[in-house]
Chains A and B, each alone.
Chain A
Amino acid sequence: MAATEQDVQRSEIRWVVWVSLFVLIIFGLTVFAALVLHRNPPSNLERIDPKTLHLSGEFTEPNRGTRVEQNGQVTTRIVATQFAFVPPCVVVPADREVTLRLASPDVIHGILVSGTNVNTMVVPGYVSQVHTVFRTTGNLLMPCHEFCGLGHSQMLARVRVVPAAEFRPDAEGRVSCAAP
């Protein structure tokens, strides 16, 4: 079969065509997941000043944690800082779209939520935004997964996923872990 250099190159090209097909299948399924199944890397490009985010605007104390907005959207705002998440525990409803928004006033952090596809870096200068729907109830781990200094190992938050019936916002639309 490989009697001449031409035969050799022909066999190589045939191989490349077949493996390209296999790469294309992977690529196609990835694009399908992105466009149709709504699974994309979080890529909302939004800037925020790390030096003032604790003083004014969206990430001040009254806004942090989970809040149901006027339009019914559930938004959870968390500040990632050396070496704790503020607040360190959040409540989210199951089977409903939740938007997580995070910002850092100091160094790079990152989060994942165990058992889900929620994963994002938190880069000072930017707001990180992740949309998801939590399908199973229970307590999930949300560690800081990017090295942020010597206290990195202790930086951990909890996400409590509750069934719709137990998700009761107060008068201002807020739901927190401390609530009975």
Chain B
Amino acid sequence: MPRHRNLVLAHLWLAFAVFAVAAVFGVWQMWVRSPLHAPYENPQNYFLSVTLHGVSMGYVLTTFFVMGFGYFVAETALRQALPWMEGAWIGFWVAAAGAVMAALTILSGGASVLYTFYPPLTASPFFYIGLVLVVVGSWIWCAIMIAAMARWKRANPGQVVPLAMFATVANAIMWLWTTAGVAVELLFQVIPAAIGWTDTVDVGMSRTLFSWTLHAIVYFWLLPAYIAFYTMAPEAAGGRLYSDTMGRLTFVLFLLYSLPVGLHHLFMDPEHSTGFKFVQTTLTALVTVPTLLTVFTITASFEVAGRLNGGPGLFGWLRRLPWHRPMVLATGLAFVMLWFGGGGGLINMSYGMNAMIHNTSWVTAHFHLIFGGTVVIMYFAIAYQIWPQLTGRAVDAGELAQQRWQLWLWAIGMMVMTLPWHWLGLEGQWRRVAHFDYDDPLIAWWGGWVDLSLLGGVMLLISAWLFIVNLARLHARQPASQAGPQPLHYAVPLHPITRLPAALNGFALWNVLVVVLMAAAYGWPIGQFIAQPSPAAIVHHVDRPG
């Protein structure tokens, strides 16, 4: 059992508890949007709910999961104590206090600005300060991850940093770069406006700074799922990781190309010209590469496992995989959802094609499928994989079956919810709407599809609560006759690593490249607001009456 199990459990339970509550709000929102009449249905409640759901799922579930899993990896992959335990707990409590502050402000009705909080709509300052505290807590985590790897390298000179930790630190470094955008937006524009020190705000600047964070943050959420793909799934499948070196390259490519692409969220915006929108389209095309690499490497790793188990022919190895193991099943389901979600993403990034779907339900469907589907199902799988280590209790066959049910229900529910949504978005259904007038003949036909989508949401809610139950059961005392959990092993590469360039064992070079890429991609898009100031918009406080 890792020494710091309580630290890991605190982070993960907070993440999952918030997730379970936010899921209820999500289903209620879908009910409100449908032709069926929902209780407490009004715009104030709806937009409060959308804000709470988005902040919970996008900022709290994710940040705390990444932190908790990171602490777990740092201790188990490096086999050393964390460099600064007190700091880790301080980070947890600061972030938790921030989350509570933001949640209470949202629940009071003073922050219905959605998780994207685009100025000049401005909420109570406590909403933003709460979010800043969550980020500050996570920065402490970043520092500890970087320090842990540095300390291990000093203690093990010339050795290869275990891939799981290399990837975790890549994510930590990427997060530091990522949060810079929103931090500047909040500290210099939004919080002063919220407090009342300024009464106008440069909206083009704030949207651009937020876009810096908005794309890269989804990779912050996604990298733990990829860490599981590379370092846990091949082991669970009974095989080897096809290539450790390409795994490292993948994480490096994410570090480089997650950041200078945020403008693709602003394709439809008037404050940027064609030139930089196009530059960032090109960079976005590059960020597809690490995912396409991963698809190959992990499929090949599973092929190794299947063939070692006697699988013949071009596809026969698929049947010889241990699909009864949750980590293996989740990886398969994740890859199916990745085809749909990634495909949708290709449409979104295709420059002019973005005009077909911007701010329609297609976008909502896309990120629920790729994040809520592909990524979160791996969060579940990771939890199921490491929980026995955290509680000291093995899982029996019946409990494994329940875990598999929960994963299937999640994947099917996600498809049922998001596929109709993609279709409706393509047909012009727009986003962030508290009420559709189904009497209008132009949109009446949407009703049935929205109801179907709602059914998917209900399936997800049941799955979400089943997940909580499955984890809670693992805290119950184990029967004396049952053996303790198997030790956790990270995946081993197919061929032992004999040589590794220093560039794939550290981040100095990559940090320099990040600076170069960001200067090229965002230098002028942000600089223009300083060089050629635009007329500012009047701050619009949503937390004040009238």
Interface residues of A (CB under 8 A from B): 2, 4-5, 8-9, 11-12, 15-16, 19-20, 23, 26-27, 30-31, 33-34, 39-51, 106-108, 110, 112, 114-115, 117-129, 139, 141, 143-154
Q: A106-B537, A124-B537, A125-B535 are in contact. Are A12 and B246 (CB under 8 A)?
A: yes
Interface residues of B in 149-207 (CB under 8 A from A): 202-204, 207
CA distance A42 to B351 in the complex (A): 10
Q: Does residue B274 face the partner (Cβ distance < 8 Å to A)?
A: yes
Residue among A8, A50, A51, A112 making CB contact with B242, cutoff 8 Å: A8
CA of A47 to CA of B537 in the docked complex: distance in angstroms? 12
Min CB distance A66 to B, Å, is: 20
Q: In the complex, given contacts A23-B288, A49-B535, what are 19 additional A-B residue pairs having Cβ atoms less than 8 angstroms apart?
A: A8-B494, A27-B285, A33-B353, A34-B278, A42-B268, A43-B274, A107-B121, A110-B358, A125-B535, A125-B537, A141-B443, A145-B359, A146-B431, A147-B432, A149-B121, A149-B540, A150-B43, A151-B43, A153-B434
Q: How far is the CA of A150 from the CA of B270 in the complex (A)?
A: 24
Q: Which residues of B contact A39 (CB under 8 A)?
A: 352-353, 355
Query: B284 to nearest A CB, angstroms?
Result: 10
Asked whether A127 lies within 8 Å of B270 as measured between CB atoms, the reply is yes
A45 touching B431, Cβ below 8 Å: no
A150 and B112 contacting across the interface, CB-CB below 8 Å: yes
Contacting B246 at CB < 8 Å: which of A9, A117, A125, A149?
A9
Partner of B270, one of A9, A123, A154: A123
Most buried by A among B112, B114, B267: B267
Interface residues in B418-442 (C-beta closer than 8 Å to A)? 427-428, 430-436, 442
Bound CA–CA A113/B356 (angstroms): 10
- Is B481 on the interface with A (CB-CB < 8 A)? no
Out of B281, B432, B538, name the residue touching A146 (CB < 8 Å). B432
If A16-B292, A147-B114 touch, does A50 touch B431 (CB 8 Å cutoff)?
no
Measured CA separation A47–B532 after assembly (Å): 10
Question: How far in angstroms is the closest Cβ of chain B from A6?
Answer: 9
Chain A, Cβ-Cβ closest to B276: A43
A112 touches B428 (CB 8 A): yes
Contact status B270-A120, CB under 8 Å? yes
Question: With a CB–CB cut-off of 8 A, which chain B residues contact A41?
Answer: 267-268, 274, 277, 351-352, 354-355
Name B346's closest neighbour in chain A (CB-CB). Answer: A26
Give the residues in chain B near A9, CB-CB below 8 Å: 243, 245-246
- Please indicate the chain B residues that have their CB under 8 angstroms from the CB of A148 in the complex: 121
With a cutoff of 8 Å between Cβ atoms, the chain A residues found around residue B297 in the complex are 12
Closest chain A CB from B495 CB (angstroms): 4
| 9 pairs of A and B residues whose beta carbons are closest in the complex | A114-B428, A124-B537, A145-B359, A145-B430, A49-B535, A39-B352, A5-B495, A126-B270, A41-B267
- In the complex the two chains form, is B498's CB within 8 Å of A147's CB? no
Could you say which residues of chain B place their CB within 8 Å of the CB of A122?
Answer: 270
Residues of chain A within 8 A of B270, CB atoms compared: 42-46, 120-123, 126-129
- In the complex, which residues of chain B have a beta carbon less than 8 angstroms from the beta carbon of A27? 281-282, 285
**Closest Cβ–Cβ distance, residue A168 to chain B (whole Å):** 26
| Contacting pair B351 A126 (CB below 8 A) | no
From A20, A114, A117, A152, give the contact of B442 (CB < 8 A). A114
* B contacts, CB < 8 Å to A: 43-44, 47, 112, 114, 118, 120-121, 202-204, 207, 242-243, 245-246, 266-274, 277-278, 281-282, 285, 288-289, 292-293, 296-297, 300, 346, 350-356, 358-360, 427-428, 430-436, 442-443, 494-495, 497-498, 534-538, 540, 542
Complex interface: chain A residues within 8 A of B436 (CB)? 153
Q: Which residue of A lies closest to B535 (CB)?
A: A49
A-B contact pairs, 26 of them (CB 8 A): A5-B243, A5-B497, A8-B246, A8-B494, A30-B351, A43-B272, A45-B271, A49-B535, A106-B120, A108-B203, A112-B430, A114-B427, A115-B428, A117-B355, A119-B354, A119-B356, A124-B538, A125-B202, A125-B535, A146-B359, A147-B121, A147-B431, A147-B432, A150-B47, A153-B43, A153-B436
Beta-carbon contact of B273 and A43 below 8 Å: yes
Take A30-B353, A40-B352 as given contacts and tell me if A141 and B428 are in contact as well, using a CB distance cutoff of 8 Å: yes
| Contacting residues, chain B, for A23 (C-beta < 8 A) | 285, 288-289, 292
Q: Are A108 and B535 in touch, CB under 8 angstroms?
A: no
Q: Are A12 and B293 within 8 A (Cβ)?
A: yes
Whether B358 pairs with A147 at a CB distance below 8 angstroms is: no
Given that A2-B242, A8-B495, A119-B268 are contacting pairs, would A51 and B442 also be in contact in the complex, using a CB cutoff of 8 Å?
no
* A106 → B minimal CB distance (Å): 6
- Per the bound structure, the CA–CA distance linking A86 and B44 in Å amounts to 25
A150: chain B residues at CB < 8 Å are 43-44, 47, 112, 434
* Distance between B292 CB and nearest chain A CB, rounded to angstroms: 4
Tell me the smallest distance from the CB of A51 to a CB of chain B, in Å: 7
Separation in Å of the B442 CB from the closest CB of chain A? Answer: 6
Closest A residue by C-beta to B440: A141
Q: Which residues of B lie under 8 Å from residue A115 when comparing CB positions? A: 428
B352 touches A16 (CB 8 A): no
CB distance from A135 to the nearest CB of B (A): 15
Compute how far the CA of A9 lies from the CA of B269 in the bound complex, rounded to whole angstroms: 42
B118 touches A45 (CB 8 A): no
Whole-angstrom distance between the alpha carbons of A20 and B293 in the complex?
10
Given contacts A45-B273, A50-B537, A112-B358, contact A40 B296 (CB under 8 A): no
